[in-house]
Amino acid sequence: MSKSQQAFLDYYKAHNISPVAQDVSDLNKHFQRRNALYRQCGLPSALIKGKDILEVGPGTGHNALFTNSFAPKNYVLLDGNPKSCEETERNLQEHFDDCSNINVIQSNFWDFETESKFDLVCCEGTIPWQNDPEAFLLKLSSFVKPGGLLLITSSDATSYLSEVLRRLIARIILSDSLGSENNAHISLLNTTDVLDTLRPFFTEQLSHLKGMSRNVDDWVHDNILQPLFGKPLSISQAINTLSENFDIYGSSPQTITDWRWYKDIHGDNRNYNERAVELFSCQIHNMLDYRMVYPEQAAEFGDEIAKVANEIMNNIFLLDKVAVDDYPSALKTVVHSVSGSLSILEKLTEKYSNETSLSIQELKQQLSCWSQGDKFNTHLLKFSPWFGRGQQYLSFTKKSWFEVTE
């Protein structure tokens, strides 16, 4: 990503959208979901009430409704997208009579500076796919008070693989709809026509997610259409980036289990971050498919899965970077490469998950048929229910003096 390309912001501004709205028609249900998230991450209401909060990238402000319901003293919401700021302000004002504690700031994150420190800093769905996610994370963490909390999301090629594969399927569907003699590069197409073409397929796909709370078109904009030029950020990368000044505290899904007696946890034995990274390395395979939870595997096995997932992701993301005139041939080349990687992944997953393996097998077969000239069959009985764990939530505590002193 060049300096002129801003993750999320360029696409959102170009289309005048903030495609992250949540369904809050049942506000109680929305609050219960957010409460479950905060509970898993170790954030009870007492840690928010009367505190100073900074949220970076609030989107439409629907999630901020829950946070503000706990009455923080000061709640700063920062977003570089004018549409997001507008909708965040409107949603908060519609739900709260007194918004004097709220300050919505429109600013590019890299330009934002303040001498204030915050008890809780939140940033959801924003750090992965930045040009330099580690640098973004370090700057974000600088706003946390000693002893304060940081809540972020991570996402990597393994957890996001099912969405990445759907990016490829979407481009095949668009190619089929125009005919093989035409160039279906997204930059050449009308966005309304693209959404109309893809909506039936993704409406069916997303119907398999029981907890789905987003508009289909928004989801397609956010996960399928917008170019992703930056880098992912895995759980391990996030922990290691912050390890000097922060300790991992909680996560959703909860992957951290510590059976040690608390009196043994002091000095060099504290190692919260090292243990969390070690535990995650044995759970990488469980990031691939959200439908099941399987026993731990050796870290080396997880590394094999991650390697293949990264190969697939990098190949598919090439389609966002290729020259427009080269796109039709590049699409065929990418499909061929991805099919080979899926064969490897199919064999790896059949060792522990028949359901995941069959999902991969079905997609691989359809890609093979398409490569031979057939139209892609969008009725995918095995693949459609397969989604990974997408993004994970991680909470961290900023070390106090007694935690950094040896």
* pLDDT beyond 50 at 2: no
Q: How high is the pLDDT of residue 178?
A: 84
* pLDDT beyond 70 at 154: yes
Query: What does the pLDDT average to over 101-115?
Result: 97
Q: How high is the pLDDT of residue 137?
A: 99
SS3 247: strand
As a whole-number percent, the residues of the chain with pLDDT over 70 amount to 97
What are 272-326's pLDDT values in tens digits? 999 999 999 999 999 999 999 999 999 999 999 999 999 999 999 999 999 999 9
Query: What does the pLDDT average to over 178-186?
Result: 82
As a whole-number percent, the residues of the chain with pLDDT over 90 amount to 92
Q: Going by DSSP bridges, is the β-strand pair 52-56/118-123 parallel, antiparallel, or unpaired?
A: parallel
Residue holding tokens 């930045």? 130
Q: How high is the pLDDT of residue 255?
A: 87
What are 41-78's pLDDT values in tens digits? 999 999 999 999 999 999 999 999 999 999 999 999 99
* pLDDT beyond 90 at 256: no
Contacts of 357 (CB under 8 A, 6+ apart): 346, 347, 349, 350
* pLDDT beyond 70 at 7: yes
Distance in angstroms (rounded) separating the CA atoms of residues 299 and 246:
24
pLDDT band at 268; cut points 50, 70, 90: confident
Rounded (5°) CA angle 182-218-94: 155
* pLDDT beyond 90 at 182: no
Q: How high is the pLDDT of residue 180?
A: 65
pLDDT band at 179; cut points 50, 70, 90: confident
Q: How high is the pLDDT of residue 313?
A: 98
Query: What does the pLDDT average to over 86-115?
Result: 97
Spatial strand order of the sheet with 102-106 comes to 102-106, 74-79, 52-56, 118-123, 144-154, 392-398, 246-252
What are 347-396's pLDDT values in tens digits? 999 999 999 999 999 999 999 999 999 999 999 999 999 999 999 999 99
Higher pLDDT among residues 400 and 135, named by residue: 135
DSSP letter (8 states) at residue 26:
S
Residue holding tokens 């100073």? 52
* pLDDT beyond 50 at 85: yes
Query: What does the pLDDT average to over 165-186?
Result: 91
The pTM of the full predicted model, rounded to 2 decimals, is 0.95
Helices (H), 208-326: 216-220, 235-242, 272-281, 299-317
Would you say 60 and 22 are in contact if contact means Cβ atoms under 8 Å apart? Answer: yes
Distance in angstroms (rounded) separating the CA atoms of residues 202 and 351:
29
Residue 162 amino acid letter: S
The helix or strand, by DSSP H or E, that contains position 145, with its residue range, turns out to be strand 144-154
| Mean pLDDT rounded to a whole number for the chain | 95
Helices (H), 69-141: 82-95, 133-141
Query: What does the pLDDT average to over 228-252?
Result: 96
Segment among 6-10, 181-185, 217-221 with least mean pLDDT? 181-185
Q: How high is the pLDDT of residue 4?
A: 55
| Best CA proximity match to 359, nearest among 382, 343, 342 | 382
Distance in angstroms (rounded) separating the CA atoms of residues 27 and 65:
9
What are 183-217's pLDDT values in tens digits? 899 999 999 999 999 999 999 999 999 999 999 99
Q: Which residues pair with 104 in a beta bridge?
A: 77
Phi-psi region of 119 (alpha: psi -120 to 50; beta: other; left: phi over 0): alpha
Segment among 146-155, 255-264, 312-321, 331-340 with least mean pLDDT? 255-264
Question: Domain boundaries in the chain?
Answer: 9-154, 161-230+292-371
CATH of 9-154, one of 3.40.50.150, 3.40.50.2300, 3.90.25.10, 3.60.40.10: 3.40.50.150
Q: How high is the pLDDT of residue 212?
A: 94
